[in-house]
Structure formats: C-alpha cells, structure tokens
Amino acid sequence: MTTRRATTRRELLCDTVISVLAAEGGRGLTHRAVDRAAGVPQGTTKNYFPTRESLLRAAAGRMTDLHAEAVARLAATTPEDISPAEVAELYPALLRRAVADDPTQLLAMVELYLEAVRRPGVREALGRMVVANAEAGADLHRAAGLPSSARDAGLLDAYFLGVAVSLLALPGEALRATGLDDPYALGLGLFKAAVPAVARAGRPDGRAQAG
C-alpha cells in the first residue's frame, strides 16, 4: 500500500511529525525538530499544533487517514470474486513492507502507544485510529466473504503490531530460537489466528481440510 503525498502544509507537517517520531523517538519530537525536518520557517509547526500533545494527536489522525485511503484504494481495485486465500496473502506482504521496506509508520505507531500510556489525549486519538483501522480491515475481509468483525480485525492488527515489532527489534538468533524467522508464514498465521472462518476451516482459502 502506497501513501499519498502531502498536498497541504498541514499534511506535510503531520507527515514530518511521523518521520521525526520514527527517527528520533518521542523524546526527539519537538516543534523545532519538525520545522527543521519539514524545511519550513521556525515557528510554523507551533502555529498549527501549539502543544506537544497536539503534535502527537495530529500524527495519529494523519496515520488514520493514510490507512483509510490505502484500504479504500485496495478495495477499489479488489476483484469481486476475491478469495479468503488472496486476502490472507496480503498480510505477509504488509509485514514485509512494515519491517523491511519502510518501518517509518511502524516505529511511529510504537512511539504513539508509549506516549498514550501517560497522555489521555493521545490515548483517545490512538483509540480512534485503532477502531477506524479495524473497521476498514473488517470491510476488506467481508469483501472476500469472511464474517469478520471490527473485533476480529482489531485483534489481527494487535497481533500484527506485536510480531512486527519483534521482527524489527530482535536479533536473528532470537527470532530463529522463537520461531519468528519466517515472515511469510507469520503473516498467514496471524490472519488465520484472528479471522474466525479461516480458523475453523484450518486453511486460508476457507475450505475444510480433508480427513
């Protein structure tokens, strides 16, 4: 899933907040750091987002919008006869993209979770993001004929986040020792574990196993 380029200064600043969060962590997120990274005059970010919490909430909102746009594009190009197996194949690809191709969104998400523990305003914004993402995921699953709910998709997202962080943070020997060294199998396994029809059938294509 590709992300749309920012078309307004507000979107540019939100994208830059996400990038700074990912690169510098929560402690490195300041108005001045965002101004510098975005290439805008000093004080610009503070004019749009006066407090540090408003920066974090803006990042959560922007990530929600980007996810919704990506899911909408995917839905618009999804064949009407898409199978559960084809939906399942998306998750290894998403896992690879989140960890190996561009971990920016994943790292920013982790920082938002940490900030939300202590900041009620960020917690509310993060909650809205998680619910919106889960509802969009459930819509995609239902397009393939799966009786998926926001609860199922939310659980899948939570599994996905935990596995993705492990793949990004742990050394190779630890991943091998714990069976986390096959991202493709992990992506399929996450989908099977969270989506009820797939779990009951025992196969990602929704067909019952023989015997």
Average pLDDT over residues 154-178: 95
- For 181, the token pair is 């060294």
Model confidence over 82-113: pLDDT tens digits?
A: 788 888 888 999 899 999 999 999 999 999 99
Q: Rounded to an integer, what distance in angstroms lies between the CA atom of residue 153 and that of residue 161?
A: 12
Domain ranges in the chain are: 62-201
- For 85, the token pair is 């197996």
Q: Rounded to an integer, what distance in angstroms lies between the CA atom of residue 208 and that of residue 196?
A: 13
Residue 76 in this model has a pLDDT that exceeds 80: no
The CATH topology of domain 62-201 is Tetracycline Repressor; domain 2 (1.10.357)
Beta-strand ranges (E) seen in 10-91 are: none
Confidence of residue 81 (pLDDT cuts 50, 70, 90): confident
Q: Rounded to an integer, what distance in angstroms lies between the CA atom of residue 162 and that of residue 98?
A: 12
pLDDT, residue 80, reads 74
Model confidence over 118-128: pLDDT tens digits?
A: 988 889 888 98
Model confidence over 181-198: pLDDT tens digits?
A: 999 999 999 998 888 665
- For 12, the token pair is 């540019």
Confidence of residue 132 (pLDDT cuts 50, 70, 90): confident
Question: Among all chains, which residue has been given the structure tokens 């989140």?
Answer: 98
Burial class of residue 20 in the structure, from the number of CB atoms within 10 Å of its CB (0-12 exposed, 13-18 middle, 19+ buried): buried
pLDDT, residue 197, reads 60
Q: Rounded to an integer, what distance in angstroms lies between the CA atom of residue 167 and that of residue 103?
A: 11
Model confidence over 54-68: pLDDT tens digits?
A: 999 999 889 888 888
pLDDT, residue 4, reads 58
